[in-house]
Amino acid sequence: MAPAPASPQPVSQVIPPAHATYDAHAPAVLQGSTVNVTLSVKEVLVSIAPGVAYHAWTFNGTVPGPVIRVRQGQTVHFTLVNEGAMPHSIDFHAAQTPWNVNYQEVAAGKSFSFNWKANAPGVFMYHCGAPTVIYHMANGMYGAIIVDPAKGWVPAQEYVLV
Ligand SMILES: [Cu+2]
């Protein structure tokens, strides 16, 4: 009788981190004519359901990444810090900026900063654009950015579902 094939490590032996839910209320608008936004890439084990672990590629350790909220007319001083083990990048759909310069890949252990002006109000996605892009997005590198209109608004309640 042939020996049984070696079996892979059961998923149950991976200890997932504590499962957390997120407050869906929209965050407050960042204040000032120039606002500092930093996203740190972290390749970490996250919990995607109680007891279910997934090795995600993230912005700031969560999937999706944090909701960013600015106001039309503000300058965003953005910094990407790559704490991961592979190149990553950023792509703000809210920005009109030279993508070949500012959406460049940032090597592991490096950081990169640039400024962009929030000209268009709306709700946009941001994501990692390092190739293969779909792998980076599917592994968790996406989030929402809100650009409030310059004159603001007074909603009753605001929630962000990504
Ligand atoms: Cu990435």
Tell me how far the alpha carbon of residue 16 lies from the centroid of ligand 1, in angstroms: 22
Distance 111 CA to ligand 1 centre (A): 13
The reported pLDDT for the residue numbered 152 is: 84
12 alpha carbon – ligand 1 mean position (Å): 27
Distance from Cα 119 to the centre of ligand 1, integer Å: 26
- Residue 60 Cα to ligand 1 midpoint, Å, equals 12
CA angle 98, 116, 22 (to 5 degrees): 110
- Classified as helix, coil or strand, 53 is strand
Q: Could you tell me the distance, in angstroms and rounded to a whole number, from the CA of residue 41 to the centre of ligand 1?
A: 8
Residues in the chain: 162
For ligand 1, the distance from its centroid to the CA atom of residue 89, given in whole angstroms, is: 6
Q: How many A from CA of 34 to the centre of ligand 1?
A: 26
pLDDT of residue 49: 86
The DSSP annotation for 84-144 comes to SSS-B--EETT--S-HHHHT--B-TT-EEEEEEE--S-EEEEEE--PSSHHHHHHTT-EEE
List, in order of start, the domains of the chain with CATH numbers.
26-148 (2.60.40.420)
For β-strands 75-82 and 91-92, DSSP reports them as unpaired
| Per-residue pLDDT, 14 | 75
Phi, psi of 11 (to 5 degrees): -60, -30
Q: What is the pLDDT of residue 117?
A: 98
Task: Quote the ligand 1 centre to 104 CA distance (angstroms).
Answer: 11
Smallest CA-to-CA distance from 146 within 137, 155, 133 is with 155
Give the pLDDT of residue 6: 57
Question: Which helix (H) or strand (E) is 34 found in, with range?
Answer: strand 34-49
Q: What's the gap in Å between 62 CA and the centre of ligand 1?
A: 13
Distance CA 92, CA 126 (A): 4
For the chain, 162 residues long, give each residue's pLDDT as a single digit of tens.
555 555 555 555 677 788 888 889 999 999 999 999 999 999 999 998 888 899 999 999 999 999 999 999 999 999 999 999 999 999 999 999 999 999 999 999 999 999 999 999 999 999 999 999 999 999 999 999 999 999 988 878 899 998
Q: How far apart are CA 144 and CA 99, in angstroms?
A: 18
Task: Please tell me whether residue 40 adopts helix, strand or coil conformation.
Answer: strand
pLDDT value for 121 = 97
Q: What is the pTM of this model?
A: 0.87
Tokens of 98: 């030279």
